Structure 1
Amino acid sequence: MSKTPENQPSDAEKPSSVPSDTINDAQVDERDRSNRDAIALPFHVAGSGTLDRLIDTARDYAKATTAEDTDKAYAADWKHFARWCRLKGTDPLPLSTEMIGLYLTDLAAPTNGSPALSVSTIDRRLSGLAWNYAQRGFTLDRKDRHIATVLAGIKRKHARPPVQKEAILPEDILAMIGTLGFDLRGLRDRAILLIGYAGWLRRSEIVSLDVGKDDTPDSGGWIEILEESAVLTLNAKTGWREVEISRGSSEQTCPVHALEQWLHFAKIDFGPVFTRTSRDGKKALDTRLSDKHVARLIKSTVLKSDIRAELPEKERIALFSGHSLRAGLASSAEVDERYVQKQLGHSSAEMTRRYQRRRDRFRVNLTKAAGL
């Protein structure tokens, strides 16, 4: 039997491989070098202790403009482009829109036999290059004809509808939490699934929560448990927003009760809400969980339950991800679309509809309304 997420080590037990650490360190170093180059005193200004401290603070602010995962991706994009340039006998600096156009072409139709990248990945690679050039004092104009025309042709020829993960529906989430035990680790994972599902949260939002405001420097929000609900204040992708999660009809499936049980038995009253546990699952540690734990948890509980059991194991794993939680309630809640949009924190209804996997598309008949 192939190795699956359910028999892989937990986040607390999973060892870090040396190559992965080396790559991550290199990406962080690249990001730090970019910040050091971008934030500095003008040549004609003499340095001082006060100015040096301001520069350090400014660099910290500059680092906070993008998420760490985004920074790592942008660093990897630059590394890949720089290597491609070396293989072609050129250099990534100074900026050459002609070479970038050829690079995009090679990503879409590789000449070395490697698989072609998707249009969305190519577009993201271009965004990474634009960011990296900006840190080095260059402006990458995406509308330049050497880039815009090539990218438009790639999109026209290779674009495909986005591949969406399956939504986790009410019967699915009940089956998933039914696979969890009632030890400390089980209480934690049950709270993660129910809070993530009821709050329509991203996996990064789930693990970034603190018990109180400003408990930790890396906090992404905090919780307030009230008599009828829990209120989550989140620093999300679109800015600060509040998410209210009401109590359920049964303690067994109530997300607020599950959260209270985890916090009580784990004895957590400060700092990260969701932390790692000891190997025996009997003690909560201080370390915040990684958002990757949420993805692994979803896949492992799907496998342990009978969800889509008619499919091979590999296909079942591939169907679900962290976004499946967020899409689940959006697809199941029988409420006006504007309430779903507000809860998800979307600026447009079109984005919300991407999460509604089985919405009633013809609830409003515009054809009849137009008199036809």
Structure 2
Amino acid sequence: MLSEVRVLGSRARARRAILERVDRLTRSQLEHTDLTAASQILSTARFSPPLPLVIAGTELPDGAYAPDRTIGRALPYLAAAEHMARDHLGDAPTGSELAVGLEIDDGIPRFVAWIRNIEDEATPISAPPARPPPPVGQAPVTVARWFALVSSQPVPAHDGKLRTARQAVDAYVQRSKAANTLRGYRAAVRAWCQWANTHDLPALPARSEDVAAYLADMALRKRRTSTIDLHRAALRYLHHLAQVAVPTSHPLVSATLAGIRREDDDPAPHQKTALTWDRLTEAVDAIQGQDPVAVRDRTILLLGFAGAFRRSELAGLEVSDIVTDDDGMRIRLRRSKGDPAAKGVLIGIPRGITRNCPVRAYEAWIKIAGIEAGPVFRRIWLAPVSRPGEPPAPPKIGAVALSDRSVADIIRKRCGAAGLEGEFSGHSLRRGAISTGAKDGYDLLELKRFSRHRSLQIVETYIDEASIKERHPGRSRF
């Protein structure tokens, strides 16, 4: 059996990645089971495409650290991984045994093998694992793996022990940052560690001159200044978690970033195409049929526009958050980028009389999907091809919420199918709703209230160029 199942990063993304790879029987068994408690179920799963097998890095007698090593790239099930790991590592020493686990790092699963002490099994399962010490001075690959682990700490169950309370501090500190932010930090730290390894530089603690060179290298590769800022913030967070001196605040690093911003050829942020009302209705009208996929996608487009939702907000909606009546619907947005304290925001959407009413679209989706509780927008599993003479089986509505990336993919797909020109993304609905409001004559204060932004300056960046020209004070004078 799998020794453990470890999830690093987004749990929803990890679950989606596993469900996409396992066989149908395993998928049905996992429907109401948390991945970290599914060792027995996943031990008999067949993965397609197959998973790689990695030998976990270990500390050597001289204090150095052996990095992770990939020894197999196509293992379809646990037994094959155990057999290959045993051939590679040989017999375990007395008092130890071979362990093989499943690790899902930022949505990418792999088998991981290591030698563990049998005495460790005496530790009660309910006892939280100790936070591994920071790998100061160790190989960059070890630093990346450590950061992925400590930035994905679950909140432990209460047992009255000081050790557990201190572990909970780490978990709650991480929850002060959005999941997408932590995902970006993990990717940035991996990139920094790869760069440091290529140039034979220490990854932790990093030297200020090396960090400045890394950011300058990113600028030479034409990376956006927003991306460079993210990498600097990730390195600051890495050193903060490791409790070592932070090199990113050094004047050399700050001056390097200031010079990069001055030399930026396009300092203005790149805006995606706004999905304004006219474009939106074209995309919605192009969705043919009343099958669950069509009804769900129409609802995502119409509701996303009506509420000026971010893609993560749409993906996170629950049935319990929404109340409908004859006048429309009320949505309690429990958590959003504009509400870091998670106080919750109420959003009202009026009921319309046209075929593009978002309230009616939502009611149609809930009815056809048979959803009574849980996530509103879910993945739909298409039924297998029926045998000749048999009626087609209906698609199966999943139990897990769509990810924010899946919402963005649906928006891009539907805009492309409608033949709309432009660069659309998950933010196109939100930007289009604000742009349409500006074109219809709503002032900035009303748009700020509608979009739930914290400043008027940000709202202005969402207004289309066409809207700005139409509302120019000199339009009737020139």
Q: TM-score range by the shorter chain?
A: 0.7 to 0.9
| Alignment match, 1:188 | 296
The CA deviation at 1:32 is: 2.7
Deviates more, 1:335-344 or 1:190-199: 335-344
If you compute each CA radius of gyration, which structure gives the higher value, 1 or 2?
2
The CA deviation at 1:141 is: 6.3
Contact 1:210 1:270 in 2 (8 A): yes
| Alignment match, 1:300 | 413
| Alignment match, 1:230 | 329
| Alignment match, 2:433 | 329
Deviates more, 1:134-143 or 1:267-276: 134-143
Structure 1, residues 226-270: CA drift from partner, whole Å, max 9, x if none? 3212122211112132221111231x1100111011112211111
The correspondence of residues 1-372 of structure 1 with structure 2, limited to 5 A, is: 18=51, 24=107, 30-34=147-151, 50-109=161-220, 115-138=221-244, 140=246, 142-160=248-266, 161-180=268-287, 181-212=289-320, 222-234=321-333, 235-239=335-339, 240-250=344-354, 252-280=355-383, 282-308=395-421, 316=422, 319-333=423-437, 334=440, 335-357=442-464, 358-360=466-468, 363=471, 365=473
Deviates more, 1:265-274 or 1:24-33: 24-33
With structure 2 as the length reference, what TM-score do the two structures score?
0.62
Partners of 1:11 and 1:211 lie apart in 2 by: 24
Contact 2:206 2:247 in 1 (8 A): no
The CA deviation at 1:133 is: 1.3
The CA deviation at 1:202 is: 0.6
How many percent identity over aligned positions? 28
The CA deviation at 1:362 is: 7.2
Report the residue type matching 2:359 in the other structure. V
Which protein is richer in strand relative to its size? 2
With structure 1 as the length reference, what TM-score do the two structures score?
0.78
The CA deviation at 1:66 is: 2.0
Contact 1:205 1:236 in 2 (8 A): yes
The secondary structure found in structure 2 opposite 1:303 is: helix
Partners of 1:360 and 1:267 lie apart in 2 by: 44
Partners of 1:184 and 1:28 lie apart in 2 by: 40
Deviates more, 1:69-78 or 1:53-62: 53-62
Equivalenced residue count is 325
Contact 1:108 1:118 in 2 (8 A): yes
Which protein is richer in helix relative to its size? 1
Structure 1, residues 158-178: CA drift from partner, whole Å, max 9, x if none? 241222111112121111111
Gaps of 5+ in 2: 1-15, 22-47, 53-102, 110-143, 384-393
The CA deviation at 1:25 is: 5.5
The secondary structure found in structure 2 opposite 1:158 is: coil
Contact 1:35 1:135 in 2 (8 A): no
Structure 1, residues 295-340: CA drift from partner, whole Å, max 9, x if none? 12112212221323xxxxxxx5xx1111111111111122122111
| Alignment match, 2:121 | none
User: Aligned in 2, Cα 1:88/1:211: closer, same or farther, shift over 3 Å?
Assistant: same
Gaps of 5+ in 1: 1-9, 40-47, 110-114, 213-221, 309-315, 367-372
Report the residue type matching 1:258 in the other structure. A
Contact 1:130 1:139 in 2 (8 A): no
Partners of 1:282 and 1:298 lie apart in 2 by: 21
Contact 2:306 2:358 in 1 (8 A): yes
